[in-house]
Structure 1
């Protein structure tokens, strides 16, 4: 009975979000518990070298499982394991050690977010702003975390600068292209990655770009051009202001920020080690932020609101630095996620595919 319920939780958690729809989780049921690991080949070691996006995704997956457990009347106990702090396990997925162990606990009341699990949506097209949404959900974020609004004009600059900056880094364009699915003929079109439908690409553009995602020689040539083009755009943006487009102005934009000065991180050398780490936070805190983010995303789904993530802002040290300066964030305030939110104008937006259970 226990294993059957755990299998149901694993199946329900498949709907969790992840960067580039990589779905980096590798759960397995062992001795009446779920051991959550990181799937080999499903991380972004070049674009996400700190493992931030992977940890946020694993946290979101765990929260989805916890919501499903509550719907079944059980509490899900979550134990972070040492591998969660190991880049070999999280960033590179070279270790098979689980990063967390999930066990069924006492009885729990049903979670009202259960009905939204299947309705969660990522959408990058035109949206309508829902007044008051951000302020309403901000009150539900745990202590030590907050949702900080971003002006549309600022986000346009951060996102454009970030995208240009990361494309200028060697290997990023190739890594991104490996997760693009621009034609139904791609063998993984219905499994993972970012499809032409989800990216809302015109058919002609998708057809022209598809060969660059499947043929190594073409992909390398395109990546070379992207690096040099990205560098040119990056240099230009440092001098020229960018205006927000209409779509950006019609949405709400925010950053999920963790205030580490409100956390118990120790003192002296221990605190310095955490603050100077690549993440700037304990891995467990980033994981917990993913859990909080999942709840915010599902509250949005209950109102028909979609998220458009902007991982390019935080994947670029240059863009992140500008964001932190513009938002007035101190050294101990760490942004972990940036997104735009709004109700899609399109009636039936496309959804990202999922790996089979």
Structure 2
């Protein structure tokens, strides 16, 4: 039985972990090997004080990175036991992964791992092709497997109501000049290693759009290239809203995203209804679900897009430190 992860295990797993999504592609994570375990830490230098003052988005992103770590280790034959927030006095440590009993990776793990490199947010319009019922069920099960829930919002009335909540939240955010400045700081050119390049930011928002979009892009869309009139919208949630719940939500989010990618689906995320507390509560009441919404997603079939850039794995790995 493996008793300790090695530097080689760390480097290989981090190469997968850094493909996780994050708000504004801020990549707010660091990784280290300590006493034979791999730890995921929050990088405070990459916080978004305006869009994410509570740290919710940072914890969600780090949770998604934890899920990628788990997959990479499992596919290498060295699955991990995972403890979230293992040190009460060190809230910056999101998770600690230690070696579990070696076993071959399952077909499901192999499929999800293969999807990591292909997964990215697709901010362009989708085709009108409906998502089959069996695929919708797999997305719901993916969230449930990680201790979260996924509510599919179906039908023009329900989606329209969610769109109103999202647009209202987006207007609140856009009225804040500090928010607009923060988005501008994370809008990049094609040579950057973080942020959202204008080339992959999707078409610029227009008044007729059913759902709001971040103003990363400057390109206007071609005539007739409006977004789909009846998108499949999903809301991911957790029973509670503690820091641990938010990390759990990040793992569930990544499992849902990879499940969608493996099924040939495209996904874009809308955090505006979560960023604004009043909108989040309005969304919770509209859903009638017990718990807390953690992310809104638009799901469908579309043209292949381009992934946002990532920093190299060595740039996010810390040297081993002593036991606290």
TM over 0.5: yes
Cα shift at 1:41: 2.1
Task: Quote the residue 1:247 is aligned against.
Answer: 227
Q: Give the aligned partner of residue 322 of structure 2.
A: none
Q: Which has the higher helix share?
A: 1
- Alpha-carbon distance in 1 for matches of 2:181, 2:6: 43
Give CA-to-partner distance per residue, 1:204-242, whole Å, 9 cap, x none: x98979xxxxxxxxxxxxxxxxxxxxxxxxxxxxxxxxx
Provide closer, same or farther for how the CA distance between residues 316 and 248 of structure 1 changes in structure 2, counting only shifts above 3 A. Answer: farther
Deviates more, 1:305-314 or 1:38-47: 38-47
Is 1:19 the counterpart of 2:23? The answer is yes
Going from structure 1 to structure 2, the CA distance change for 1:16 and 1:196 (only over 3 Å counts) comes to: same
Take 1:318 and 1:208, find their aligned partners in 2: how far apart are those partners? Answer: 29
Distance 2:96 2:294 in 1: 23
CA RMSD of aligned residues (A): 2.6
Query: 1:199 corresponds to which residue?
Result: 201
- Aligned equivalent of 1:233: none
User: Which residues in structure 2 correspond to 1:110-189 (within 5 Å)?
Assistant: 110=105, 111-112=109-110, 113-128=112-127, 129-132=130-133, 133-142=135-144, 145-150=148-153, 151-169=158-176, 171-181=178-188, 183-184=189-190, 189=191
- 158-167 vs 53-62, which deviates more? 158-167
The aligned residue for residue 222 of structure 1 is: none
What do residues 128-180 of structure 1 show as CA deviations (whole Å, max 9, x unaligned)?
33232323321233375211122331232122111111122452222222111
Q: Say whether 1:350 aligns with 2:306.
A: yes
The answer for the alignment partner of 2:262 in structure 1 is 302
The 8 Å contact of residues 148 and 248 in structure 2, kept in 1 or not, is answered as no
Which residue does the alignment assign to 1:75? 79
CA contact (8 A) 2:62 2:250 kept: yes
Q: Deviations over 1:84-136 (max 9, x none)?
A: 897xx6xxxxxxx5332222221133123111111112101111332323233
Q: Secondary structure at the match of 2:19?
A: coil
1:47-86 matches, within 5 Å, as: 47-81=51-85
Structure 1 residue 40 and structure 2 residue 44: aligned? yes
Whether the 8 Å CA contact 2:203–2:218 is kept in 1: the answer is no
Q: Secondary structure at the match of 1:73?
A: coil
Equivalent residues, number: 282
TM-score by length of 2: 0.79
Q: What runs of 5+ residues in structure 2 fail to find an aligned partner?
A: 205-214, 220-224, 314-324
Q: Is the 8 A contact 2:85 2:96 kept in 1?
A: yes
Q: Distance in 2 between matches of 1:102 and 1:195?
A: 33
User: Structure 1: any 5+ residue segments left out of the alignment?
Assistant: 90-96, 210-244, 261-280
Change (3 A) 1:207 1:23: closer
CA contact (8 A) 2:124 2:203 kept: no
SS in 1 for 2:227: helix
The whole-number CA distance in structure 2 between the counterparts of 1:206 and 1:286 is 25
Cα 1:253–1:208 change in 2 (3 A) is closer
The residue aligned with 1:321 is 281
The separation in 2 between residues aligned to 1:85 and 1:130, in whole angstroms, is 45
Alpha carbons of structure 1 residues 85 and 30: separation in structure 2 relative to 1, 3 Å: closer
2:201 partner SS: coil
TM-score between both structures, scaled by the size of structure 1: 0.72
Q: Distance in 2 between matches of 1:208 and 1:325?
A: 35
Which structure would you say has the larger Rg? 1
